[in-house]
Amino acid sequence: MGPVMNRHIPTSEVLRGLLAEAPADCVTFGWLLDKLHKRSFGIVLLLLALIGLAPGTSPVVGLLLTIPAIQMILARESPAFPRIIASRRFPTRRLVRLVDRAVPVLRRMETVIHPRWKTPFEATTRVVGLVVLALTSVFFVPIPLSNVVPAVTIMLIALAYLEEDGVLLALSLTAAAAVILVGAFTIWQSVEAVRSMTS
């Protein structure tokens, strides 16, 4: 019984399971977080990073990402958003469309991304939260398309976290370190440029 109970359930199956439990008319963001349990952090990061790829969303997504990131650093069991966000209702049919589009892509990715090099869950959660919090600063770098690289990096981190893939997590955290260094250097250059113009 032990191996069956401890079997890792792929994210695509978790999302499919949501549809079976979803109310017929509407769902709320808070309901989704409750149903996803320990997967909620990873899926929230993944969804926000996807939104962050869209032009003009950088400041909002950067701010929203700080909420789950800080809660991961504090080792909370699941993310908690302000009531105005958690109680937001949307039609179940929109959830169905989103899951129907995401599941085939996830299933293809899950053939490559799978549990390996497992790390302690709580320690991993704290590290991921710290790195994502650092990456949010890159969303505010004042250059075109500066949102794309950190968003893609967070997507990879979220997938590695969700699928307990230590190999992908190590690679994506290394990439994140490079992104953070480049972002910090760009911000420093921008500050120096403004300082030289005003002096």
pLDDT confidence band for 182 (50 / 70 / 90): confident
Distances (CA, A) of 101 to 28, 143, 154: 20, 31, 20
pLDDT tens digits, 128-154: 999 999 999 888 776 667 788 899 999
- Residues 12, 57: Cα–Cα separation, whole Å: 26
pLDDT tens digits, 85-126: 888 888 888 888 878 888 888 888 888 888 888 777 778 899
pLDDT tens digits, 21-80: 888 888 888 888 888 777 889 988 988 888 888 777 788 888 889 999 999 999 888 888
Distances (CA, A) of 52 to 45, 120, 197: 10, 29, 32
Q: Give percent of the chain above pLDDT 70.
A: 94
DSSP structure class, residue 26: E
